[in-house]
Amino acid sequence: MKTDLSFAHPAEIATECLAVVVTDIDNGAADRPKNAKPEVAIQTNDAAVRAAAASVLTSGDVTAKTFEITVIHEPEKLKAKRLLLIGAGKAKSFQASDLCKLAGAVVRALKPRGIRSVTFVTPDSVDAESAVKNIIEGAFVGNFDPDTYKSDRKDQQIDSFTVVASSSYDQKKLQQAHDEAVIIGESQNFTRDLVNEPSNHMTPTILAERAKKMAKEVGLKCETYGAEKIKELKMGAFWGVAQGSDEPPALIVLQYEPAGAPANIKLGLVGKGITFDTGGISIKPADGMEKMKYDMAGGAAMLGAMRAIALLKPNVKVTCIVCATENMPSGKAQKPGDIQTAMSGKTIEIINTDAEGRLVLADGLTYAKQLGCTHLIDAATLTGAVVVALGYANAGVFANDDKMYERFNAALNKSGEKFWRLPLGEEYLDNMRSNIADLVNAGARGGGASNAAAFLKEFAEDTPWLHLDIAGTAWMEDQKPWIAKGPSGIAVRTLVEFARDFKG
């Protein structure tokens, strides 16, 4: 999708569709009748656009309910063929981050109508830089569809998307916001492309090849290793998962090392890359197992973040490690009761072979520290328990360091993604202790997400660390107005914002 930034008057722009935000001005007046129609305001000062929308706004047909879309054909005194009004809810709660979903909703509403060019007017009531950033990122999210392998796939893509801002703003800063948002939006969709692939088209080997190709395109150093290197590094936890599959595993390592970056600080991004998860010997039920192709979403998110980091060039060293393998049942597979020795030297009793993500991450975290990482973030579709705790609205975040979490929370405020901090503590680690080894890989049912995080903390040790459990949010279970059913690309935007502001 080609994107542009314009400072022209909206009324003078020739486009198939001009989109403008409308809000409900709820002034809380006590004398407002209970069933009164909402007072709707259009979020632009352009007189011609306001005039073109005036009659429909005063008719009462527009409520400004979030994602409500009203299309005016052949609007008077506008060069646009259509004027689209997108509802944003109550004016008092409307903010710039809402524009990400609103722009996605506009794109998704127009694609099936055969419309190929869209122009979106930034609201006057929010910060212009944030508005441009969120609109562009949301447009990319909305333009993605997962129907890659349909033989009758229809051409339903927006080809041209323009954001219009007032010429009174700093045009250089707005152009920079636009350019950075394109990188982030494309990187999120890069992640979604990886996650969307079926496992026969996204083996560990293919994932490593895609990582290499991306790294070459954006100037990252990339090395990939197979089983021999994994054994040489004594990654017994990782190899314990990989040994059951006929597909060779891949240890993917990407390095971003800008000149002049602080030598004593390195951010480590570690991703779970289980390209298909049957559960192993502790096999999963057949119902829904086809979605286990997305069990590499944590690793894909790290690759997408690295793509954006390489192009945005923050002044911090970053190392990314993705431990990629299938988790399969076979005569070679690890069994419940087996003991594996992790790279750190800790021993792990395998209670449930379907608790494999924490095993590959354990060795990934240890290797990241060996490569000099001073701060760690891992991401994984790790537990069903996090879905029980938070549903499909929020991902879980765990931290062993409050300062790391505060910085992550600041990144969330910029990205608009939803994460909720969940607890860590010795009581959860107690659930992960073994009678025969140091740890078990699956503990008590209660507090399952915290138990898994406590297990991983044993490998992060004292290194400042965040664990992102994205099991409930990496795959959209239903179609939403702003995003297609399927891979979401969760965490990419927040990881990028975190790295850009990271000072150690």
- Known catalytic residues are 284, 358
CA dihedral 239, 242, 245, 247 (to 10 degrees): -110
Which element (helix H / strand E) includes 101?
helix 98-110
Nearest CA to 245 out of 280, 202, 294 is that of 280
Which residues of 187-249 form beta strands (DSSP E)? 221-225
Q: How far is CA 380 from CA 68, 123, 191, 275, 390, in A?
A: 34, 36, 13, 12, 15
CA 430 to chain centre: 32
Give the span between the Cα atoms of 472 and 235, in whole angstroms. 28
Q: Which two tokens stand for residue 369?
A: 């520290």
- Asked if residue 398 lies in contact with residue 464, where contact means CB atoms within 8 angstroms, the answer is no
Q: Which two tokens stand for residue 24?
A: 């409900």
Which neighbouring-strand residues pair with 252? Answer: 224, 322
Give the span between the Cα atoms of 250 and 273, in whole angstroms. 9
CA dihedral 196, 267, 314, 404 (to 10 degrees): 100
Q: What region does 382 belong to: left with phi over 0, alpha with psi -120 to 50, or beta?
A: alpha
Give the span between the Cα atoms of 52 and 59, in whole angstroms. 13
Angle between helices 448-460 and 357-370 (to 10 degrees): 20
CA dihedral for 178, 184, 187, 192, sign (positive or negative): negative
Q: In what order do the strands lie in the sheet with 339-341?
A: 339-341, 347-349, 439-440
Which neighbouring-strand residues pair with 42? Answer: 22
Place of tokens 């009004």: 85
Give the span between the Cα atoms of 385 and 423, in whole angstroms. 13
DSSP secondary structure letters along 319-371 = EEEEEEEEE--STTS--TT-EEE-TTS-EEE-S-TT--HHHHHHHHHHHHHHT
Q: Which two tokens stand for residue 224?
A: 């990939």
Which neighbouring-strand residues pair with 270? Answer: 321, 378
Place of tokens 């879980």: 396
Give the span between the Cα atoms of 336 and 398, in whole angstroms. 27
Query: How many of the other CB atoms lie within 10 Å of CB of 467?
Result: 29
